[in-house]
Structure 1
Amino acid sequence: MAGSEYVRVPRVLCIAGTDPSGGAGLLADVKSVAAMGGYAMGVVTAVTVQNTRGVTGVHAVPVDTVLAQLDAVADDVRIDAVKIGMLGEASLVEAVGDWLQRRRPPHIVLDPVMVATTGGRLATEDASRMLRDLVPFVDLVTPNVPELAVLCGEPTATHLEMIVGQAELVHEQTGSAVLATTGDLEDGSSEDVLVESEGGWRTTRRLPYLRVDTPHTHGTGCSLSSALATARVGAEDWRAAYRRVRPWLDGALQGGLSLEVGQGSGPLDHTWFLHR
């Protein structure tokens, strides 16, 4: 899609559910986009009842209302990147896919949200299956370990070599670039896996990161994907965007250790660089 044109302040549209405790979903997206120097816009797909200890309710926004929000923004604002998070219902997955084909925004990142860090289910079984059909319409998909297994229809990976194989399979099946995150692997791996193609050639890269020993990982996937969408505007490729985002994310995870928000799996400190 769009290349590496210069945009002073990237305008990033985030499509996601809410989290009233502020750690995940649309609120985490807005914080991440701002931390990366972008201007965040938000379309609400669902209102959740949750905090750092768990999800107790999910109330879907009607599909027509979600589409009306999307068109209201697209009719008025030039969109430089889109981040898609929680969709929740199969009908909404299909509708967003149709909207993407109609509007064709540049730099689309899909975080295939299915289950919250705190354990609550955020997508129906039908929606989880249909997310696989949405992947070919995006530029990058950012699954964690269990999400990657759902996307490729295989058992959950237990080590890095399985992650590599599954990420390559999803890329082969969909054509989308795949950034498989490995923070929830139990083998101690500290490399994410990026699979993409250019000029007909597939490349698989292992991207090392600093593994932070912390229980406070609420909203990590949301934050990473929205930050990547922002950083990709003007960047040469997804690898370059990742190189900019990952140190910020590592700092946010480290900062979350002293943030003191909630009694469960706490959030990241998205503005940790202001608190040093």
Structure 2
Amino acid sequence: MNAVTKSRIPVALTIAGSDSGGGAGIQTDLRTFAFHCVHGTSAITCITAQNTLGVRRVDAIATEAVVAQIQAVVEDIGVQAAKTGMLLNQEIILAVAQQVEALQIQNLVVDPVMVSRTGAQLIDDDAVYTLCHALIPQAAIVTPNRYEAQIMSGLTIDSLDDMQAAAQIIHQKLGAKAVLVKGGGMEGKAHGVDIWFDGEQLSTLSTQLIDTKNTHGTGCTLSAAIAANLAKNYDIFTAVQQAKNYVTTALTYSLDIGQGQGPVGHFFPLLQNNN
């Protein structure tokens, strides 16, 4: 069944993990969809016990349950765009890739959650391989951070030139229609600068740098905002530009909660309307 919505309201699907602290994952994806006036649907892949200080526990959802969630949403409601976040293991990744193909899900944004911004690998090598070769080739755009881009391209990334080379290799090697290599984990003049490549256009994208320690959920928010804009029928490059602006403003209103790294703030449209 083709994943075309029956509703006039744009619909987006997030396939990702749950963050009990509410700063990333399913929770921030749905919040991002809502503030883009897009109806958010979800397929939860894992449940985490976490807060601003870190992750205490991760439990995988049964693969059959992940598949059932995706099918239930697509077959009844339909989606104009989807994004993936933490898929956790090889079995779930392969099942999601199969559903994307079988249900003809379009405008897929893959946030390839495999390595943290600090360089810690989050999924095993078999899962990384399946993500790269089964799911990413179906993506409209893939949004790796510095360390994920290193794995995907085989390059060591220390500069903007390295990021540009990696984006081109990832595009050619893995087949995503577009690549956005994120520079949040870079240092010096490359810090916060992203590199875009779609096979033709190679662009350096930058926005205002926001000085805050509360950046939890930035990557999830960016990929969800891209998906929301695609669901609203923006072209992919415009969707990325608008998503980056959304994240920058959300960082400006980041939440200083808990004892550790707080999340970005999604309530700024309400705050601005009240001023």
Aligned residues: 265
Deviation by residue 1:136-157 (Cα, 9 ceiling, x = unmatched): 01111011111111112233x1
Matches within 5 A, 1:155-170: 155=156, 157-170=157-170
Find the aligned partners of 1:120 and 1:52 in 2 and give their Cα distance. 17
Aligned counterpart in structure 2 of residue 242 of structure 1, from 240, 243, 254? 240
RMSD: 2.0
Residue of structure 1 equivalent to 2:77: 77
Question: What TM-score results when the alignment is normalised by the length of structure 1?
Answer: 0.90
Question: SS of the residue aligned with 2:197?
Answer: strand
Three-state SS of the structure 2 residue aligned to 1:17 is strand
Partner of 1:137: 138
SS state at 1:179 partner: strand
Distance 1:209 1:188, change over 3 A: same
Q: Distance in 1 between matches of 2:231 and 2:161?
A: 31
Q: Distance in 1 between matches of 2:61 and 2:117?
A: 22
Alignment partners' CA distance in 1, 2:257 and 2:43 = 25
Equivalent residue letter for 1:171: H
Could you state the TM-score of these two structures normalised by the residue count of structure 2?
0.90
CA shift in 2, pair 1:25/1:118, >3 Å:
farther
Q: Secondary structure at the match of 2:19?
A: coil
Report the Cα offset of residue 260 of structure 1.
2.2
The separation in 1 between residues aligned to 2:168 and 2:94, in whole angstroms, is 24
Higher relative contact order (CA 8 A, sep 6+): 1
Query: Secondary structure at the residue paired with 1:45?
Result: strand
What SS is found at the alignment partner of 1:218? Answer: coil
Change over 3 Å in CA distance of 1:111–1:262 after alignment to 2? same
The answer on whether the counterparts of 2:12 and 2:231 sit within 8 Å (CA) in structure 1 is no
List aligned pairs for 1:208-227, cutoff 5 A: 208-227=206-225
Measure how far apart 1:123 and its partner are: 2.3
Conservation of the 8 A alpha-carbon contact between 1:15 and 1:43: yes
Q: 1:154 to 1:129 in 2, by over 3 A?
A: farther
Q: Distance in 1 between matches of 2:117 and 2:172?
A: 28
Superposition map of 1:9-24 within 5 A: 9-24=9-24
Q: Deviations over 1:156-205 (max 9, x none)?
A: x11111001001100011221101111111123243111113xxxx2211
Alignment of 1:262 onto 2:264: no
Structure 2: runs of 5 or more not aligned:
none
Cα drift, residue 125 of structure 1: 3.1
Tell me the alpha carbon deviations over residues 107-139 of structure 1, each in whole angstroms, 9 at most, x when there is no partner: 000001124568876423321232111210111
**Kept in 2: contact 1:117–1:219 (CA 8 A):** no
Structure 2 counterpart SS, 1:173: helix
Secondary structure in structure 2 of the residue aligned to 1:188: helix
Work out whether 1:147 is the aligned partner of 2:148: yes
Q: 1:210 to 1:235 in 2, by over 3 A?
A: farther
> What is the letter of the counterpart of residue 86 of structure 1?
M
Contact 1:195 1:204 in 2 (8 A): yes
> In the alignment, what sits opposite 1:193?
195
Quickly say closer, same or farther: Cα 1:31–1:150, change in 2 above 3 A: same
5+ long unaligned stretches in structure 1: none
Within 2, Cα distance between the matches of 1:102 and 1:274? 39
